[in-house]
Structure 1
Amino acid sequence: MKPKVLLVEDSTSLAILYKQYVKNEPFKLFHVETGKEAIDFIERNLPQLIILDLRLPDMSGEDILDWISENQVPTSVVIATAHGSINTAVSLMQKGAKDFLEKPIKADRLKTSIALHLRQVKFEHLVKDIENKFDRIRFHGFLGSCLPMQTVYKIIDSVAPTNASVFINGESGTGKEVCAEAIHSESKRKKKPFITINCGAIPKDLMESEVFGHVKGAFTGATADRKGAASLADKGTLFLDELCEMDFEMQKKLLRFLQTGTFTPLGATKEIKVDIRIICATNRDPLIEVERGRFREDLYYRVHVVPIEMPPLRERGNDIAILANHFLKKYAKEDGKKFSGINQDAELLLQNYAWPGNIRQLQNIIRNIVVLNNETRLSLNHLPEQILHQGSVVNKSKMISKPIEISGTIPINPATNQFSKSSLSLGKPIAIRPMWQIERENIQNAINYCDGNVLNAAILLELSPSTIYRKKQAWESEDEHERT
């Protein structure tokens, strides 16, 4: 079946001309003249590609683009307008458009653009089919499809059916407890209790009672028998979070419990035997804790049977955007707000941020934005200063606008026979140009070579057209600022 391409164009004469251009191409071109007709067509016959005029009799093309985005219609959109500019192109690409055509559109430009985007759509569908077969974007409480998370999912699949102890390591906020819950949910113990003890949140004097329980009169205030986590988790899973925070003496008692499967409640004389699975987690490096004498080596080897390393958010690539959009829509629904998506420039900053607080920090920032605002799209204006600041830091490199000449000799430290770190010798003066200048020149050369065709230049440079439009806009703004 041939791919469907929808042309939304109010000029009948231009529509006839465009149809003539592509009459021998391997796709079907359909034509409508109004925004309402376009939406009706999309709902009935989902096209793979839409060529969208911005000025229509009943609504703007931008309104249709917003409708496509809000309804998550799986199609690509190319904007066609005689009133275009770089600013318009960048704005519409932030809303989801894939390309920008200025009217009147030349035959070769139209055919090249349609062919390119139909190939891209076909490739994206192929990738999604492969991902559906081999990878997962949702797994229990997790959301994300990056390679490090796929590794986590596969380890969980392998270890969950066994009784092996699992040791989860990762920074705070990376989802260690979610990982433990996923292991329990995939295990044979899933219908039994899942009990959590946060070893860093319980005072050391109370830890033994929390884990093993106590009998009435065991200490002042013990007015009744109380079961500990070990008893409550019988036949199920005991998750010991932040294990490296546990007092050294309590580690010894925990080790004995893990070796024998028995314990004695505080103040009791009779041992109790239980059947539990242990999952531990920490945000510290356990081997460093062992070396520094804060964590028992024998306990480490007892619990460190199957390690799982939770990746920090900054290493999860496109998962950042997936998670941000998920939280945005979730909180917007909960709070009755309008947010439905994130602009491309804001999404780019989110993906480039270091996220020291990981997923928990991302959640809090998105929740704050939803609570304090009520637009349809999350934009740069909504982002907090610490995320926006990273962009200004990058731009500081552009302050060097002239080639730097470096020359001189290399002082050698006689004590180490090494080059001094404070000096650099290159034998003779050379000119070093900032990378942004080289990039700008290369992009402009590619555009000139392609006779101003940004799409073809993007293909040569192996960049997306939106990246080139965004960079051109930034350069033009800087040039305008320097002239004023």
Structure 2
Amino acid sequence: MSSGKVSKKPSILIVDDEKNQRELLSKFFEKQGYKTFAASTATEAEEIFRKQGFDSAIIDLKLPDFDGIELLRRLRSIDPDLGAVILTAYGTISAAAEGIKSGAAEFMEKPVDLANLAKVIESIIEKRQIIAENKLLKEISSATIPADIVAESPQMKEILSIVARVAPTDATVLITGESGTGKELIARLIHQNSKRAQRTFVPINCAAIPETLIESELFGYEPGAFTGARKRQIGKLELADGGTIFLDEIGDLPLLVQAKILRFLEDGQFFRLGGTQPVKTDVRVISATNRDIKSMVSEGKFREDLYYRLNVIHIHIPPLRERKEDLVVLAEKYLKQFARKHGKPIKGFTPEAKDRILRYPWPGNIRELRNTIERAVILSRREFIQKELIPSSHHDYTPATYEESELKTLAEVEREYIIKVLEYCNGNQSEAARILGLHRNTLRNKLKEYGLL
């Protein structure tokens, strides 16, 4: 279960041969919210550092076995990003220079000004966190990003930065965005870069499971819980023990199930249907929705307390039409991918085709773009994809002069396009959902919303 805490207490290694000084510094920094460990010798400090590591260090220059500067060199050979403060009653310019070269953030004389020391330590830890985030972001950017995620736009770069910061924690994450924007991809990216990466990632689409079955799907059931329940069934929350559960389309959860999810988030346990013994699991919860969850809270359709539990970290993925920098790059990646897959010698898009890609609003987002490019690759007879193979509806989405009465809401445009695709598919909802890049249940929800069912 997510604890909701975004970070652990920062830790400080305090090394001083004077007991009173160690105790003074330990008590002061513990009151400031830090975790401390005190050592009286350099050897003891090095041993404990090798075992557990620390976020920063406060080191006395003169120690019984070897001096603080040598200790700092050794500690930084273990952790090059360690920042430290060297304290001494023997301050000299040369010692200070050596200390700074060895990685000390500052060289301070005893008796030390605790308020000033606290500011220096805070600065050291902030710098360390930034370094760690940048390293993780680099790892995410170079190794684990799926082909469907492109981060040329400022919005996606910021999202990856948030992923780098939140992935190592157990905080709950709520991902919002239109259908097809890649919410599950971001959820998987968080899981893959977390301490739970070697455990299971369990996705469950709350909109795709009938209301009568969602509870048993999540929590499992015992024999005799209902007609046909002959043996124990393990639920998704239990399957995800030690890992991450991804609750997609969380806005479709019935209120009764919302209450049970809330209880699980509060104490980490639940009951199988028909069960009398609580089941305890350690699961990180990431959820997603394409609905306006805040409005649902206001309308009483979604529990406010659950919303705040799920929304410790919020990531909003903008639609493709709002991040043009990603659009053509993503289209070109898909073109290469599908040209290889289908054995087609296609080199790229014509300028006119690229222009259409940029003008079209892509209501189905990444899924629609992916399907469109694959279809274009299959149907193309030339080396370059022509504009005729790229959608041009919605008036090409070009800026123009309109009377206000001519303008349409996005919902009206989406409704018209869904009708057009359904007509093209002769009413086949599964085929229409595939072209639109939507799950069939999501399409059915939209058909109901627009009065088309």
The TM-score range, normalised by the shorter chain, is 0.5 to 0.7
Q: CA deviation at 1:137?
A: 8.4
- After TM superposition, the structure 1 = structure 2 runs for residues 95-106 of structure 1, keeping only pairs within 5 Å, are none
Question: Structure 2 counterpart of 1:373, which letter?
Answer: S
Question: Structure 1 counterpart of 2:234, which letter?
Answer: K
Q: CA deviation at 1:136?
A: 4.8
Residue segments in structure 2 that go unaligned for 5+ positions in a row: 1-136, 406-453
Q: CA deviation at 1:178?
A: 0.2
Q: Using the alignment, how far apart are the partners of 1:249 and 1:134 within structure 2? A: 41
| 1:390 matched residue in structure 2 | 396
Q: Using the alignment, how far apart are the partners of 2:223 and 2:341 within structure 1? A: 45
Which of 228, 239, 258 is 1:221 aligned to?
A: 228
Q: CA deviation at 1:205?
A: 1.1
Question: Structure 2 counterpart of 1:140, which letter?
Answer: I
Query: Is structure 2 residue 360 aligned with structure 1 residue 353?
Result: yes
Distance 1:251 1:377, change over 3 A: same
**Structure number with larger C-alpha Rg:** 1
- After TM superposition, the structure 1 = structure 2 runs for residues 296-375 of structure 1, keeping only pairs within 5 Å, are 296-375=303-382
| 2:282 matched residue in structure 1 | 275
Q: Using the alignment, how far apart are the partners of 1:307 and 1:351 within structure 2? A: 28
Q: Using the alignment, how far apart are the partners of 1:280 and 1:371 within structure 2? A: 35
1:70-112 CA distance string (max 9 Å, x none): xxxxxxxxxxxxxxxxxxxxxxxxxxxxxxxxxxxxxxxxxxx
Report how many aligned residue pairs link the two structures.
266
Distance 1:348 1:291, change over 3 A: same
Q: Secondary structure of 1:279's match?
A: strand
- After TM superposition, the structure 1 = structure 2 runs for residues 153-302 of structure 1, keeping only pairs within 5 Å, are 153-302=160-309
Does the aligned pair in 1 maintain the 2:360–2:391 contact within 8 Å? no
Does the aligned pair in 2 maintain the 1:135–1:145 contact within 8 Å? no
**TM-score w.r.t. length of structure 1:** 0.52
Q: CA deviation at 1:191?
A: 0.1
Q: Secondary structure of 1:152's match?
A: helix
Q: Using the alignment, how far apart are the partners of 1:134 and 1:275 within structure 2? A: 26
Which of 154, 159, 173 is 1:152 aligned to?
A: 159
**TM-score w.r.t. length of structure 2:** 0.56
| 1:140 matched residue in structure 2 | 145
Residue segments in structure 1 that go unaligned for 5+ positions in a row: 1-131, 398-420, 423-484
Does the aligned pair in 2 maintain the 1:341–1:376 contact within 8 Å? yes
Q: CA deviation at 1:385?
A: 4.1
Does the aligned pair in 1 maintain the 2:140–2:164 contact within 8 Å? no
Question: Structure 2 counterpart of 1:207, which letter?
Answer: I
Does the aligned pair in 2 maintain the 1:144–1:322 contact within 8 Å? no
Does the aligned pair in 2 maintain the 1:137–1:145 contact within 8 Å? no
| 1:113 matched residue in structure 2 | none
Q: Using the alignment, how far apart are the partners of 2:391 and 2:155 within structure 1? A: 28
Distance 1:264 1:394, change over 3 A: closer
1:298-345 CA distance string (max 9 Å, x none): 101111100001111011112111111111111111111121211222
- After TM superposition, the structure 1 = structure 2 runs for residues 50-129 of structure 1, keeping only pairs within 5 Å, are none
Aligned-residue CA RMSD (Å)? 2.4
Q: Secondary structure of 2:247's match?
A: strand
| 1:112 matched residue in structure 2 | none
